[in-house]
Chains A and B, each alone.
Chain A
Amino acid sequence: MDQHTLARVNLFALLRCLEDLPAVDAAARAIAEGKAETIQFTVGGVGAARLAIGGGRIEFLPGPGSKSIHLWFPKAEALNALFAGKGNPIPLKGLTKIAYLKGPFTILTERLGYYLRAKPELLADKGFKEANASLSLRAAVYALAEIGNSDREGRLNAARMPDGEVLLAAKGGPELTLESKGGRLACRKGLPARLRARMVFADLDSAGALLRGEMDSYTAIGSEKLELGGFVPLLDNMNKILGLVPRYLN
């Protein structure tokens, strides 16, 4: 696996999912309502991103900036090790706040893992199942953009995507827009300003089933659990990148 792309997925896709955790998880909500901290993650050769926690919300901010805690990872592998539970960052700022990292921040990442790596017995709970589907869809779409911009095969397919905005959504769930421009991909929340193609799940259950691997995409399309429409060259090449997502998120 391409460690650089994996680090981008971890940094810009998985951390970004924390934004939506308070909406589904009480523990995350409590942390978001607690002490305000801004944590910056800087990864050598990859980039930086920040999480602003406080005021009842978690905000993901790409790029460096003001922060109260600064964590440094010399290279992609170091960040990936942290996400695999096998490594630790080097704190550059906020040395006195190690307790926050070991406490509230660790709880946040564990809660995210709890929803994304769903144990089968938990899926019997409707609320959990919806949270799993919603967060998994966000993680997949955020990761899609990173993989399209970084992974070798991803870049080949992104380069084949014409310019335009694709709606990726689940009815009753998240609405995300993937923008392709000059072979580069970017993802944002909300509806496209000018929709050129769409990939919309009939409901969150269908999205969850596909993302958990319980249903394949062709079956989803044929059984109308996943509706595709619009400018097919956008969808066709995007789907090739989507096919790479499990390599990084699993």
Chain B
Amino acid sequence: MQTYSHARSRELFARATKVIPGGVYGHLGPAEGCFMPVGAYPLFSSRAEGAYFWDVDGNRFIDYMCAYGPNILGYGDKDVEAAALAQLKEGNCVTAPSPRMVELAELMVDTVAMADWAFFCKNGGDTTMFALMIARAATGRARAVLTRGGYHGVAPWTQKEGHPGITSADVSNNLYVEFGDYEALERLFAEHHGEIACFMATPYHHPVFEDNRLPPEGYWQKVRALCDREGVVLAIDDVRCGFRLDTGGSDRHYGFEADLECFCKALANGWNVSAVCGKDSLKDAAGSVMYTGSYWLSAAPIAAAIACIGKMRELGAAGLCMEKGRKLTQGLAAAGRRHGFDLRISGEPSMWFMRIAGDDSWQTHQAWVAECVRRGVFFTNHHNHFINTALTDEDIAFTLEVADEAFAVVAKARR
């Protein structure tokens, strides 16, 4: 199998570093994205369609990062694009919002099981910040309980003291608990009785760098009851999982109801809109918080979200992604076994995490992922992956062929 090279990506990166801090910053960049070794990875794309993107050197990749989640129906889905483009012609960022905003709120209330209302922003971090502010406004309390390793964006309160730009004051209201440890959560609530505004967590634990963990049996039901008893707002960060586990919300998938639920990623198949959904009991508090942004009510992304939700419901997108993910991950693990590697799969199949077991320094895993990327299968090293509905059986078959060859290359180097 031929391997790719990235001469134009490198040229563009060199230009970028002159005028952009870090060249490509954040999770799409080589540093935060853990491109190891960097030389195996493309740094810029030229176009995207369906389950693929092409880099600026013309190499095609089956994209298992899906822009880190937004791509759920396939890049450039014709129905979503048509809705957004039609709205663009009518008006987008205007002094008064479009009726599409009301339509999307109605659709979300109809789609998301726990939702009595919806509020729109732009990014996932906007929604988690808003959820925390609503909880504080509603309870008159300051503290938030978060899970260790949980990701809720990049606002200072979501980061760690000692990281660049973060002060102790930024995180002084945070309390931390292990995901899935109900007894520890109960103890923390007791120790800080009357101080906790909200418990914020992802529906299952999907941090970087470690095996992802599903909630233990009965965990969320006990947490729900505890929050009710203590008057704590239960805020679910469904930014990453939303619509990939259950179109009705990931809380429904695990059999409970959140008070607040944050959505972004798959909401509009790549168009920039995010949403907080909430229960009636928190509607006044939500309305009381001053929270807005220049582009939050822009109509084109909202029209895209309406089309995207409609199509996800019609296709049963979450179920499809789960099924494709199951097929793919079973094949990847089998390919590993053929070459003597124990590829461990964790998390939900529609957004699985993987690592090669017995690899204390992760160098074998990084080498295998790099060989896959060199052959046109875009994985990344230590983040969960994403499935989209445009992924075909042929794509999965090709991926498994690449994975097999990549394992063979790594096995040979190891000998």
Residues of A that sit less than 8 Å from B by CB: 152-154, 156-157, 160, 164, 195-197, 216-219, 221-224, 227-233, 240, 243
Given contact pairs A222-B13, A222-B30, enumerate 8 new A-B contacts (beta carbons under 8 Å).
Answer: A156-B160, A216-B17, A218-B30, A222-B23, A223-B17, A229-B36, A229-B366, A230-B362
Say whether A233 contacts B209, CB under 8 Å: yes
Find chain B residues with CB under 8 A from A195 CB: 361
Sample 27 A-B pairs with CB under 8 A, ordered by A number: A153-B161, A153-B162, A154-B162, A156-B161, A156-B162, A157-B163, A164-B360, A164-B361, A196-B361, A197-B361, A218-B23, A218-B31, A219-B17, A221-B38, A222-B17, A222-B23, A222-B29, A223-B17, A224-B39, A227-B38, A229-B36, A229-B366, A230-B362, A231-B360, A232-B381, A233-B209, A243-B164
Q: Mark out the residues of chain B between 220 and 266 whose CB falls within 8 Å of any chain A CB in the assembled complex.
A: none
Write the residues of chain B forming the contact surface with A, with a CB cutoff of 8 angstroms: 10, 13-14, 17, 21-25, 29-31, 34, 36-39, 43, 160-164, 208-209, 360-363, 366, 381-382
- Min CB distance A191 to B, Å, is 14
Please name the 9 residue pairs, one residue from A and one from B, whose CB atoms are nearest each other, closest first. Answer: A218-B22, A156-B162, A219-B17, A153-B162, A222-B30, A230-B361, A196-B361, A222-B23, A221-B31
Partner of A216 from the list B21, B24, B38 (CB cut-off 8 Å) is: B21
How close is B358's CB to chain A, nearest CB, in angstroms? 14
Q: Is the CB of A227 within 8 A of B37?
A: yes
Are B164 and A222 neighbours in the complex by a CB distance under 8 Å? no
Closest-CB distance, A156 to chain B (whole angstroms): 3
A152 to B162, CA, bound (A): 8
The answer to whether A157 touches B162 (Cβ under 8 A) is yes
Is the beta-carbon distance between A240 and B37 smaller than 8 angstroms?
no
B162 and A219 contact, CB distance less than 8 A: no
List of A residues within 8 angstroms of B160 by Cβ: 156, 160
Cβ–Cβ < 8 Å partners of B21 in chain A: 216, 218
Bound form: Cα–Cα A229–B36 in Å: 6
Q: How far is the CB of A43 from chain B (nearest CB, A)?
A: 26
Which residue from A222, A228, A232, A243 sits with its C-beta under 8 Å from B382? A232
| Residue in A222, A223, A224, A240 whose CB lies within 8 Å of B163 | A240
Q: Are A223 and B10 in contact, CB atoms less than 8 angstroms apart?
A: yes
**Cβ–Cβ < 8 Å partners of B38 in chain A:** 221-222, 224, 227
Q: Which residues of B contact A229 (CB under 8 A)?
A: 36-37, 363, 366
Q: Which chain B residues border A228 with CB–CB below 8 Å?
A: 31, 36
Chain B residues, CB < 8 A from A230: 36, 361-363, 366
**Contact indicator B363/A219 (Cβ below 8 Å):** no
Complex: how many Å from CA A229 to CA B363? 7
Q: Which residue of B lies closest to A160 (CB)?
A: B160
Task: Give the chain A neighbours of B34 by CB distance below 8 A.
Answer: 232
Q: Output the least CB separation between B59 and chain A (Å).
A: 18
Q: Which residues of A contact B362 (CB under 8 A)?
A: 230-232
**Docked-complex contact B161 and A223, CB < 8 angstroms:** no
Contact of B209 with A240 in the complex, beta carbons under 8 Å? no
Would A222 and B162 count as touching, CB distance under 8 A? no
Chain B residues in 8 Å Cβ range of A227: 37-38
A158 to B38, CA, bound (A): 26
Closest residue on chain B to residue A218 by CB atoms: B22
- Partner of A240 from B14, B25, B162, B382 at Cβ < 8 Å: B162
B14 CB to nearest chain A CB (Å): 6
| CA distance in complex: A154, B161 (Å) | 10
Please tell me if the beta carbons of B163 and A219 are within 8 angstroms of each other in the complex. Answer: no
Q: How far is the CB of A118 from chain B (nearest CB, A)?
A: 23
Evaluate contact between A196 and B360: CB separation under 8 angstroms.
yes
**In the complex, which residue of chain B has the Cβ closest to the Cβ of A159?**
B162
| Assembled-state Cα–Cα distance A245/B37 (Å) | 25
Say how far B238's CB is from chain A's closest CB, in angstroms. 26
The residue on A at minimum CB distance from B14 is A223
Residues of B within 8 A of A152 (CB): 162
Chain A neighbourhood of B37, CB < 8 A? 224, 227, 229
Contact in complex: B31, A222 (CB < 8 Å): yes
Contacts of A219 in B (CB 8 A): 17, 22-23
Q: How far is the CB of A27 from chain B (nearest CB, A)?
A: 38
Q: How far is the CB of B286 from chain A (nearest CB, A)?
A: 34
The answer for the CA separation of A157 and B159 in the assembled complex, in Å, is: 12
Distance of B12 from chain A, by nearest CB (Å): 11
Q: Are A223 and B382 in contact (CB under 8 A)?
A: no
Which residues of the partner chain B approach A218 to less than 8 Å between Cβ atoms?
17, 21-23, 25, 29-31
